[in-house]
Amino acid sequence: MRLRTTTAAAAAGLLLLTGCGAADMTEQASPFANAQGARTVTLSVQSWVGAQANVAVARYLLEHELGYRVDTVQVDEVPAWDALSQGRVDALLEDWGHPDQEQRYVVDKKTIARGGDLGVTGHIGWYVPTYFAKAHPDVTDWKNLNKYASQFRTPESGGKGQLMDGSPSYVTNDKALVENLNLDYQVVFAGSEAAQITQIRRFAQEKKPFLTYWYSPQWLFEKVPMTEVKLPAYEDGCDADPEKVACGYPRTPLQKYLNADFARTGGKAAAFLKKFRWTTEDQNMVSLLIADRKLTPEEAAKRWVDSHESTWRTWLS
């Protein structure tokens, strides 16, 4: 009897829910969006400063030139695709290449639209500080890395040399590379870019040798000059099997992506974001202001905007 009552209640509850009709959670904007009648654009910021620079400038122009309100949400790369598809984020300004996600959302589900090139080309590689490379020129070839393993040793890497990797969200094949190239190194994950940068600067301050996974464009090169270690050259498809990778990283033209609905109905904001395109130098300038001079992103963006009007005017037309 009691069981029947419970079942009936559960059924009634479900009916009540379904009575309101279907609710597609993949089409729910952020609750903080469009508050107080302002049109809001939600931008995804990834955890690295270059991405912050893109967003800071886009935000500044959207707010000051186009009258939008801009929300930013920090989301890592892959989850950002999901958030973009659900409409919780309107645009993603810097993507380093995620073919799986692109296939799923852009081609199959059509919930994300391409937004064109950012204008910056990204490259991942292994780097040593330039002061060390100058003293030991042959370190820049991967074949000689084992010779220097003992100098790159840290408490974390145990008896091997340390190859420092950054945030777990970044694209990396380093563990496989170390194995496949027979290097006497241990991959140590800093866990976040912030931690990695702090560590690099610390090493640089003491002029210690280090080997790190790093990428360009990156403002840190301005503060700590680093030289790339040549890995076996990248060829198309050489990184197809993640277990057997034995080649370096490609050069990736960074891409923008927009939520498909937003791309259609986003009006001026969507048009602006599609046209947004700048150079590595531009990005580095803003990044450096944010990360090194500790300016707020807004101030950093303002400085760039004030001095590069000809560049951004074309984005608004």
* Nearer to another protein (CB atom), residue 181 or residue 295: 295
The minimum distance between CB 288 and another protein, in angstroms, equals 11
Is there binding between residue 306 and another protein (CB under 8 A)?
no
Answer yes or no whether residue 168 interacts with another protein by CB under 8 A.
Answer: yes
- In angstroms, give the least distance from the CB of 218 to another protein: 12
Any contact of residue 303 with another protein (CB under 8 A)?
no
Q: Which is nearer to another protein, 69 or 274 (CB)?
A: 69
Residue with tokens 């300016």, as numbered in its chain:
295
- Binding status of residue 296 toward another protein by CB under 8 A: yes
Distance CA 184, CA 205 (A): 26
* Beta carbons within 10 angstroms of residue 65's beta carbon: 15
> Rounded to whole angstroms, how far apart are CA atoms 115 and 112?
9
Cα separation, 51 vs 118, whole angstroms:
11
Shortest separation between residue 190's beta carbon and another protein, angstroms: 4
- Which one, 199 or 315, has the nearer CB to another protein? 199
Q: How far is CA 176 from CA 43, 101, 182, in A?
A: 34, 22, 10
Residue 67 interacts with another protein (CB under 8 A)?
no
Q: Which of residues 241-280 bind another protein (CB under 8 A)?
A: none
Selected binder of another protein within 290, 304, 305, 315 (CB under 8 A): 290
Answer for which of 41, 61, 70, 75 binds another protein (CB under 8 A) is 75
Name the residue with tokens 């046209």. 275
- 70 in contact with another protein (CB under 8 A): no
Give the nearest distance from C-beta 98 to another protein in angstroms.
9
What is the x/- site pattern for another protein, positions 118-157, by CB under 8 A? Answer: ------------------------------------xxx-
Distance between CA atoms of residues 85 and 27, nearest Å: 8
Query: In sequence order, what are the beta bridge partners of 216?
Result: 123
Instruction: Determine the 3-state secondary structure of 32 from DSSP.
Output: coil
Distance CA 144, CA 225 (A): 21
Find the helix packing angle between 297-307 and 309-316, rounded to 10°.
100
Partners of 71 in beta bridges? 42
Interacting positions 182-221 with another protein (CB under 8 A): 188-199, 202, 205-206
What residues contact residue 237 under an 8 Å CB cut-off, 6+ apart?
Answer: none
CA distance 260 to 113: 5
Binding flags for another protein, 34-53, as an x/- string (CB under 8 A): -xx--------x-xxx--x-
5 interacts with another protein by CB under 8 A: no
CA 4 to chain centre: 54
By CB under 8 A, the residues from 79 to 98 that bind another protein are 79-83, 86, 88
d(CA 281, CA 100): 30
In whole angstroms, the minimum distance from the beta carbon of 169 to another protein comes to 3
Contacts (CB under 8 A) with another protein, residues 17-36? 17-18, 20, 22-32, 35-36
Q: Is 181 in the site for another protein (CB under 8 A)?
A: no
Can you tell me whether residue 23 is helix, strand or coil? coil
Q: Which helix (H) or strand (E) holds 144?
A: none
Binding site for another protein (CB under 8 A): 14, 17-18, 20, 22-32, 35-36, 45, 47-49, 52, 71-83, 86, 88, 104, 109, 154-156, 158, 164, 167-169, 188-199, 202, 205-206, 290-291, 294, 296
